[in-house]
Structure 1
Amino acid sequence: MKNFFPPTLSRYLARVYTASFLQLLGILLGIVYLFETVELLRRAAKFENVPFTLVLEMGLLKLPEIGQIILPFAVLFSALYTFWFLVRRHELVIVRAAGLSVWQFLGPIVGVSLLIGIFHMAVINPIGALLIARYQALEVAYLQAKENTVSIGEQGLWLRQKTDDGGFILHAERVKMPEWRLTGVTVFFFTKDGDFIKRTDAQTAVLSSGNWTFYNVTTNAGGQPVMTGSEALATNLTVNEIEESFSTPEQTPFWSLPGYIKTMEATGFDSKKLRIHFQTLLAQPLLFAAMVILAATVSLRMTRFQPTALMIGGGVVIGFMVFFASSFLKALGASDQIPVILAAWFPPLIALSLGVSVILTTEDG
């Protein structure tokens, strides 16, 4: 049992697969960077004072967001290439002739894919989240010119909006969803120069029809507090714009997700998308292992004389099916149709089960 995975062979297979993965990932990221930079240049042409170096920087900062989408495909197609490479050189034939089972030469490659998933989850994702946050900050500053800022913290909802007269900062302790009824509301008003004008406290507030409507209001402008039943404050914000302004799952580092989920739930916001994203990251090593095994089901039965296009087509079909199933189940989970755990873990589990079943039938059966 000690030599179930022969050390020399295992190191060789792991090295071949790692090299294939890094080369393919580098090519894919290079193509993505080229197209993303062209798109950013097109957008930057509409604004003044956007340096070319800034566009290049933003293209690099954007890579982690798209890289996380293409990473499973890089794992799959690098495995396909590795097996194709070994078949073309008759190396798998020699390995099987030496009496080794399919699992003995699959093990090192599956192990590398598991390590890639763990490394991405624990290291790359947190770094990528910081880069994505930096990209979005530059995008707002140079390419969108937004005047509103929304954030969620342990103390509740914070919202800043600029107006013709200056601006205001709104704070709410809790938000009742889906009515979007704020409780424990405080609003600070400022001039264009940043000087304080007044403070308004309200028991509740509701956003509708381009206005914040405050109820049970107390206003303090430096003199005697004034109490009113309700007041309206014009705003150009909509509910959708506020929700879209929150930190996206991709913008939140893996290690910060549990705390951010608790903060969202304590404030009253729906955290299903964040919980699905967190569970998806946990399941990613298993998904990558499943991708390698599925690649083996397509390529191990090939001979030297079978067309490579057949293998590539099989890989495309597998990748599309897994991607579609994963996206579909995430949508069901976000809409409360299925549990979060099922939405995140079912695709890798079913892909792994399918791959193992096929190999057991065709190779060991």
Structure 2
Amino acid sequence: MSNRTSLPVPWLRLGRIERYVLVQQGRSLAIALGVIAALIMLIDFVEISRGVGSDVDLPAARILGLMLLKSPQVVIQLLPFVFLFGTLAAFVGLNRRSELIAMRAAGISAWRFVLPAAGAAFMVGVLTVTALGPAASAADGLFQRERARLSGAAGGLDAPQAVWIREGDDTRQMIIRAEQQDRASARLLDVSFFIYSNDAAGSRTFSERIDAASASLSAGRWRLVDAVGAQIGQRAVRYATLDLPSSLAEDEAFERFARPQSTSFWALPAQIGRVENAGFSTTAYRLRLQQLLATPLMFAAMSMLAAAFSLRLMRLGDLARMSVAAVLLGFGFFFVNQAASAFGSAEVIPAWLAAWLPPLLTALAAFTLLFYTEDG
């Protein structure tokens, strides 16, 4: 004698009904993605035209190419809303055509078509983190370099902004401060090197300061031009050029300050190690890594939340009210995610908690609503 439960055992096996629901979800997701991507591309096109296009006379095709490099990163950040709106539209459509009512009347549990939809969203999340995200990060990095090159070609340096770099090993540490950076020629301008020596006990002692008109990183060394160095108790010495050994890779003086959001998933662990070895805080990078790891769960939770609200329409019969409630709840979890990120960046809460709390809350809300819908 077999007992039927609301959660079927063979939910991993996709039958005809599950495949049909997945097809409907895929179509709605494609439409939602197209609408959101079109809006983002339009905004980016206008922004690039008013930004880079105002410095350099660029044809429309060139601006379009820059837009295609910049927009994917923003689209990926908004993918949770694609799953929220797309899944909601798919299940609402099934409800309006009374297809969900027929499925439920036939004794089919809601878990049979909700879990495959969530599983598909989870797999898309894995693909996004491992493949689409790194490609978008690379495109965004190319856009940043191209924008800097175009701005440099227009005869302007980056806006004055102090740059701080720290590097070294167990015996020596260097703190580098530059008043300005010229990305076009990969140089730090009006730069000061503060050199410290470490003893066996780990104590750090200031040993020398070197000021230079410019510094460039190449072949494992800093090349200083028009430099003046002074050690404690000694007179200043002027150098036309001076080389200092460096543990940084070429161009890392600029790349290490890239936003964590522009760093791909595969590059984050190495980036965390480099930043940590240089003595800087890695909180922002660790938070970004945890957020990427939680992305598949966020996609699945958004999909389940939208489906759960759509299923309740069969009993409540209030399509507009429940749809608006689902959208508002999705935005609410988005703001929770932003608040958690802010707390994590400020080290008020651990980075892993700030990253995993929003998707876990979303998933718990979706499961609670689904259990209530199924079991009353």
Is the 1:157–1:267 contact (alpha carbons within 8 Å) kept by the matching residues of 2?
no
* 1:322 counterpart = 2:342: no
CA deviation after TM superposition for structure 1 residue 131, in Å: 0.8
Distance 2:83 2:342 in 1: 24
- After TM superposition, the structure 1 = structure 2 runs for residues 1-365 of structure 1, keeping only pairs within 5 Å, are 1-2=9-10, 5-143=13-151, 145-147=156-158, 161=181, 167=189, 189=213, 197-200=225-228, 219-221=237-239, 246-303=257-314, 306=317, 308-365=319-376
Is the 1:152–1:263 contact (alpha carbons within 8 Å) kept by the matching residues of 2?
no
**Secondary structure at 1:49 match in 2:** coil
**Secondary structure at 1:120 match in 2:** helix
Q: Which moved more, 1:95-104 or 1:144-153?
A: 144-153
Distance 1:344 1:223 in 2: 47
Distance 2:355 2:272 in 1: 16
**Secondary structure at 1:221 match in 2:** strand
TM-score, length-normalised on structure 1? 0.77
CA 265–223 in structure 1, closer or farther in 2 if over 3 Å, else same: closer
Distance 2:14 2:360 in 1: 28
CA 198–316 in structure 1, closer or farther in 2 if over 3 Å, else same: same
Distance 1:55 1:329 in 2: 35
CA deviation after TM superposition for structure 1 residue 76, in Å: 0.5
Distance 1:184 1:130 in 2: 38
**Secondary structure at 1:37 match in 2:** helix
Is the 1:80–1:311 contact (alpha carbons within 8 Å) kept by the matching residues of 2?
no
Q: Percent identity?
A: 30
Distance 1:294 1:189 in 2: 58
State the partner residue of 2:220: none
Distance 1:184 1:10 in 2: 70
Size of the aligned set, in residue pairs, is 326
Q: Deviations over 1:110-131 (max 9, x none)?
A: 1111011111100011001011
RMSD of the alignment, in Å?
Answer: 3.7
Structure 2: any 5+ residue segments left out of the alignment? 1-8, 169-173, 183-187, 197-204, 216-222, 243-252
CA 350–32 in structure 1, closer or farther in 2 if over 3 Å, else same: same
Distance 1:250 1:244 in 2: 13
**Secondary structure at 1:301 match in 2:** helix
Distance 1:182 1:9 in 2: 72
**Secondary structure at 2:91 match in 1:** helix
Distance 2:275 2:307 in 1: 42
CA deviation after TM superposition for structure 1 residue 337, in Å: 0.8
**Secondary structure at 2:51 match in 1:** helix
CA 136–3 in structure 1, closer or farther in 2 if over 3 Å, else same: closer
CA 59–202 in structure 1, closer or farther in 2 if over 3 Å, else same: farther
